[in-house]
Structure 1
Amino acid sequence: MLYTNKETQSKRKLILSMNVTQDGYLSGPNCELDWHFNAWTTEMAECLADELNKADTILFGRITFNAMSAYWSNKGVDLSSPIEDRAFAQMINSYTKLVFSKTLTHSTWNNSIMINDDPAVYIRKLKEQKGSPIMIYGSAQLVWYLIDNKLIDEFQLWVHPIKLGRGKLLFKSVSPHFLELVNTKEFRNGVVLFYYRFKQLV
């Protein structure tokens, strides 16, 4: 069923940022992401930082949180890291990070809060508050749940010029034909960032 987010237009916006292949996969069948990591460039990193700068809160599932915590928690002070990595790390380390998990109870990554509540209930209340947009990176299981519950307002899809043929699809229960394209940004390596929202009912 096509749904509208008209009722949430005046509320805090939830934005998904996800790398996907041309045929709609967010990872290979065994969670392979080499096609994404190998294609990442300084140009893309600068754009990602610009988008994150508009937000103040990040949502994670457990697996993505653990991976990003291990990578980013010390990047801000690692002078051997590229300058764009350090800039992104300083932002992400300072932001509120909400982690939806039934097993994690704490983390050493600063400003991280473990949430054991139903994500849909918690996020609906979060979106009622005043504030900047909320970002979500990766976190496939959480994303699928949020799509099913009509809670994502904007999709920033980094589409890579590659087809996997099999793996984990981003859209499992909702047709991507229900998305409305609002903007695009092309990168020199062939990746295109598509900005989508769900179509509005007339």
Structure 2
Amino acid sequence: MKKIILDLATTLDGFIEGPNGEIDWCIMDDDMNFDGFLSSIDTIFYGRVSYDAWGNYQPEENAAPEEQKLWNTVHSKNKFVFSSQNREDENAVFISSDIVEKVSEIKNQGGKDIWLYGGAGLIKTFIQENLIDIYRISVHPVALGKGKPLFEDIKERLNLKLVKTNVFRSGVVQLIYEA
């Protein structure tokens, strides 16, 4: 069965974006092996706002070959968008109801794992519904003081088991937990 992996960056003080949605503090080092992560998944789950911003993003024509390759790889994945808007999109399947049931169906299809991309509202729903199997949290060496927190309005305690840590040259520490 596929696993749902929440893979995202947070600040040292627990924010996934700044107060104005900024993510300019995110560091991408080559020793993070993001390509390896992308090769382990075949599906991406988006909320509608995140999908509209990034689901069909194309880098500038003069972008580095590595960036172009990264986005080509991302866009080669199966995409599901969780939204109250039910719309047609040639690049994604929109899901507007029965989230737990639909997620179970997708997990049982076989294949590689699933990246829960976000945004914050979708992540919160997946945490509350206990749908995340693995948390890959990359803690960046910056504190913002305010912004959008990763864990917000949690109804019950979330007990996780640390299975691995990775420390990168940039000072980013990746914590990998099983739910």
Same fold flag (TM > 0.5): yes
Q: Distance in 1 between matches of 2:145 and 2:5?
A: 27
- Which residue is 1:106 aligned to? 88
- Counterpart Cα distance in 2 of 1:125 and 1:133: 13
| Local SS of the residue matching 1:124 | helix
Q: 1:50 aligns with which of 27, 36, 40?
A: 36
Shift in Å at residue 120 of structure 1? 2.1
Match among 15, 23, 34 for residue 33 of structure 1: 23
Q: Which residue does the alignment assign to 1:8?
A: none
TM-score (norm 1): 0.79
1:169 aligns with 2:157: no
Q: 1:90 maps to what in 2?
A: 72
- Report the counterpart of residue 123 of structure 1 in structure 2: 103
CA RMSD of superposed structures (Å): 2.0
User: In the alignment, what sits opposite 1:180?
Assistant: 161
Q: Deviations over 1:151-175 (max 9, x none)?
A: 1000111110112222222112154
When structure 1 is superposed on structure 2, of 149-158 and 180-189 the one drifting more is 180-189
Is the helix fraction higher in 1 or 2?
1
Distance 1:86 1:33 in 2: 19
1:181 shift after superposition: 1.3
Give the deviation of 1:56 after TM superposition: 0.6
Count of residue pairs brought into register by the alignment:
177
Q: Is it true that 1:151 corresponds to 2:137 in the alignment?
A: no
Q: Report if aligned partners of 2:56, 2:75 keep a CA contact under 8 Å in 1.
A: no
Q: Percent identity at matched positions?
A: 34
Listed as ranges, the gaps of 5+ residues in structure 1 are 1-10
Q: TM-score, normalised by structure 2?
A: 0.88
Alignment deviations for residues 15-58 of structure 1 (CA, whole Å, 9 cap, x no partner): 0111101121112233222222xx334444xx222101111111
